[in-house]
Structure 1
Amino acid sequence: MASAEVVVVTPLSPTKKNRIQVSNTKKPLFFYVNLAKRYIQQHNEVELSALGMAITTVVTIAEILKNNGFACQKTVCTSSIGMKDENKGRMIQKAKIEIVLEKTEKFDSLMSPKSKNKDDSNKNDDNDNIKTTTIRDTLEEKTEDGK
């Protein structure tokens, strides 16, 4: 009975401001990736947590953030919790994971708009000028021809 009381009390306890409880059915993967980036930016770390089938989604989110240099892994905690099965009304064990990621040194430079490749932006500017020139030339030719 004591474990059932703990399960009931836990969801009512105040949640951390930097915790994301991930579901693999409610939101797309990159919603959580972008939300985690925002939490890291605000709090210097984020706690990702999930139950059952959503654990793979949390691991994927953590790997995306780590592999792209936004975060490094601080802690990983696994456990199982007792929950009531909605269909059968009995207690079942669910796997739970909590991954805490912290901000990397290069996080701010990766998040800044200046981190975009300058060569690419210059190429786009050149392409815009070329297109504009081509359209002008075409219009001038048409007006000279009287069309």
Structure 2
Amino acid sequence: MEEVVDGVAKMKIVDPSKKNRIQVSNTKKPLFFYVNLAKRYMQQHNEVELSALGMAIATVVTVAEILKNNGLAVEKKITTSTVDMKDDTRGRPIQKAKIEILLGKTANFDELMAAAAEERDAADGEDQS
């Protein structure tokens, strides 16, 4: 038990204020995994920051647009930059595009989420019969 406590004490949290950040990959998870995760983060923190590099940028933009088009989120801030990375195949540094999109809850976010939950519950009730 003592080793676990020591291990936790030595852990470095990169940025403890970024509990609401989702780093999106375009290969690891399906699109709606990120949409649903973003909804959960907005419920908990009132806003969510979507972040991606390179080819995953299109996924982040799509997730943000789905949330906005469904009336759940508003854009608060979009930041673009480049990040220096090491190219694994050639061993030389390369630059990758990076995007960060900060989304906040809309005024009727909670209503929409409650309505969606009721619809799910009603559908589940129909499945049971």
Aligned to 1:141: none
Q: Which of 36, 50, 55 in structure 2 is aligned with 1:53?
A: 55
Is the aligned partner of 1:13 residue 2:20?
no
Aligned to 1:106: 108
Structure 1: which 5+ runs fail to align? Answer: 1-11, 129-147
Q: Does the 8 A contact of 1:109 with 1:115 survive in 2?
A: no
Aligned to 2:87: 85
CA RMSD of superposed structures (Å): 2.0
Counterpart-to-counterpart distance in 2, 1:41 and 1:14: 21
Is the aligned partner of 1:38 residue 2:40?
yes
Q: Kindly name which structure, 1 or 2, has the bigger radius of gyration based on alpha carbons.
A: 1
Aligned to 1:67: 69
TM-score for the superposition, normalised by structure 2: 0.78
Structure 2: which 5+ runs fail to align? Answer: 1-12
Aligned to 1:28: 30
CA deviation after TM superposition for structure 1 residue 13, in Å: 2.0
CA deviation after TM superposition for structure 1 residue 14, in Å: 2.8
Runs of 4+ in 1 over 3 A off after TM superposition: 113-117
Whose strand fraction is larger, Structure 1's or Structure 2's?
2
Counterpart-to-counterpart distance in 2, 1:93 and 1:115: 43
Instruction: Please list, as runs of the form range in 1=range in 2, the aligned pairs for 1:106-145 lying within 5 A after superposition.
Output: 106-113=108-115, 116=118
CA deviation after TM superposition for structure 1 residue 114, in Å: 7.1
Whose helix fraction is larger, Structure 1's or Structure 2's?
1
Cα pair distance change 1:114/1:22, threshold 3 Å: closer
CA deviation after TM superposition for structure 1 residue 67, in Å: 0.3
TM-score for the superposition, normalised by structure 1: 0.69
Give the number of aligned pairs: 110
Cα pair distance change 1:114/1:86, threshold 3 Å: closer
